[in-house]
Amino acid sequence: MSLSPTHSPCPSQSYSRSTLSGTSSTPTPTPYPQFILFGDSITQASSRSLAASLAEWYTRRLDILNRGFSGYTAPMGYDNLLQFFPSTSPSSTTPQIKLMTIFFGANDACLPGNPQHVPLERYKDYLTKIATHPGVHLHDTKPIMITPAPVDEWQFSRLERTAVTTRQYATACREVAQTLNVPVVDLWTVFMIKAGWTPDSNDPLIGSRDAPRNQVLGDLLSDGLHFTASAYQIVFDELVKLIQEELPELTPENLPFVFPDWKKKLGVEQS
């Protein structure tokens, strides 16, 4: 999905200050509702790609906030959530958080013995805690889970993650989403299908060193784990598709501008 901003031409007429500012000297604050991208380094590094594309898609409707934390796991992320997610209802000083992606698992899936390793059941428990945090209910936030993507063992100098283990965490994420009835972007499956994998395959898992090196994964993963621009484009496309199909009330066309169109602001008839 390619996006290009459009700009309304500036009118040649001049207007009085009272027309533009209204009569109130102390206007009530009007905060933009928010879409939080919550995750690890893959989210943290998305500001010039995924976050920028979402900001363009939701121009004048939602603020996109990057809350990615490099190296973090789901339990570590939950600790941060307790500190940054509002504990009060939306108001003129507390923006409503309408959407939040939950994108952990890349670090949780490190092999046992690695300090970042999180056992599978504990990972599932903390995904649940994040998605059911009281603030999520208070804000009527729609959480969207994103499964960890596959890894490419061929690019690793040390084998701290494996293709097979990461698949298990992707499956666990899907299971939590299904249990909670939360929408999920199954990024693991999307990437793997693009790489040539089929669900009924008995061949060694693509991405593992038991399988031939895969060019598609090489193009999507810059170092075997982190995303290239092409990978972020896929995440954006999949998020847009999911929101359009499962949360249509939160597509841009169904959300109002926070501040009115300039013609409405000036009382100009629209042709």
Q: Do residues 39 and 105 touch, judged by C-beta distance below 8 A? A: no
Distances (CA, A) of 101 to 30, 36, 59, 203: 24, 6, 18, 33
Instruction: Return d(Cα 264, Cα 271) in angstroms, integer.
Output: 12
**CA pseudo-torsion sign 186, 191, 196, 201:** negative
DSSP assignment of 141-192 equals -EEEEEPPPP--GGG-SS-SS-HHHHHHHHHHHHHHHHHHT--EE-HHHHHH
- The residues near 202 (Cβ < 8 Å, ≥ 6 apart) are none
The greatest distance separating any two alpha carbons of the chain, rounded to the nearest whole angstrom, comes to 73
41 is catalytic: yes
Q: In what order do the strands lie in the sheet with 97-103?
A: 63-68, 34-39, 97-103, 142-146, 184-185
Q: What are phi and psi of 229, to 5 degrees?
A: -60, -35
Q: Which of 2, 21, 25, 41 is catalytic?
A: 41
Q: Coil, helix or strand for 36?
A: strand
Q: Any idea which residues carry the catalytic annotation?
A: 41
